[in-house]
Structure 1
Amino acid sequence: MKKIKYILSAIVLSTAFFGCDDDLADTIDESAKPRVTFTVSSSNAPEIDTPEIIISIKMDKPIKTTTTFAATQIGGDAVLHEDYEVSGGVVPAYQTEGEIVISVNSDLDVEGDETAQFEVGAAAIPDLYEVIGTANITLTIEDYEFCLWNLVANDSYGDGWNGGFISVEFDGTTSTYAATHPTDTFDIPITKGSDYTITYVSGGGTGQAPGWEEENSYVLTAPDGTVFADGSGPEIPTAGVITSGTSTCN
Structure 2
Amino acid sequence: MRKLKIYILLAMGLVTAMSCSEEKIVDEVLQTVERGLVLRTVANLSTTYNLLDPSSTFGVTLEAQDSEGGQLLSEVRVFAQFVDNTVVDDNDLSSSEAQVATIPASAFSEGPFGFPRADLIVSLSEALTGTGTDSGIVDGGDAISFRLEAQLTDGRVFTNRAAGTVANGSFFSSPFAYSAGINCIPVTPVIGDYELNLTDLYGDGWDGAFITVTIDGTDTQYTIAGGSAASFTISVPDGTTELVFTYTPGAFEEEHVFELLAPSGETAAAGGPGPTPGEIVLNICS
TM-score by length of 1: 0.37
Mark the structure with the bigger radius of gyration. 1
TM-score by length of 2: 0.33
